[in-house]
Amino acid sequence: MKGSDLTRKFRTALMVGVIWCGLTLPAAANTTILLIGDSLSSGYGLQGPVWVEQANQALAKQGHAVTIINDSISGDTTAGGVARIKDGIDRIQPDWIIIELGGNDGLRGIPPRTIEDNLMKMVNIADANGVQTMLLGIRIPPNYGKSYTELFEQTFKSVSATTGSPLLPFFIGEIGGDPKLNQADMIHPNDQAQPIIRDRVLPFIKSVLGI
């Protein structure tokens, strides 16, 4: 084959590759995440922006076309999440769903098996609608004893292992139990805690999305 033919074929292949990349990039450029959570993400008792809003601000500042739609309700449970996840999918049409539920179940002593079943139902509903899921795990005070608290924490790990949904265990981290970072009830993080939560959750989200 002549050199001119090789050059022409190379240029043609290069042009096709450029066109292909140009067509596919816009489809991957915008990502919508639906966060279904409780008071830890709804902004309960705060004066300023909750960590979710701060995460959106950081993503925009870093140049990422990723938006988290915060659909968190104070007091919500995993059963509530099961009841409303399909409506959220239909309204928002998200690419991903972050499930941040379970804390209120634990505080009420709901059997861990029930919590796990509800989380599984949420993931399965999302999957059936072509939406991927992430999990934000939580811990609870040892009010119901060591066995219960251990089983409670294990529910998130079990759902993650079974479904392949990425999990950030105990997403508020060192904030739990710190009086300087919690409101008077020692359950809800205060305003000073929100940037810390943002900086724990944001790298997890970016890692999952590969950005």
Tell me if residue 95 is catalytic.
Answer: no
- 105: tokens are 């179940």
Q: Which of 72, 76, 160, 188 is catalytic?
A: 188
Q: Which of 4, 5, 90, 185 is catalytic?
A: 185
Let me know: does 123 contact 159? Beta carbons within 8 Å: yes
SS3 annotation, 85-150: HHHHHHHHCCCEEEEECCHHHHHCCCCHHHHHHHHHHHHHHHHHCCCEEEEECCCCCHHHCHHHHH
Q: Rounded distance, CA 44 to CA 37, Å?
A: 12
Tell me if residue 64 is catalytic.
Answer: no
Q: Which of 4, 5, 39, 64 is catalytic?
A: 39
Tell me if residue 188 is catalytic.
Answer: yes
Q: Which residues are catalytic?
A: 39, 185, 188
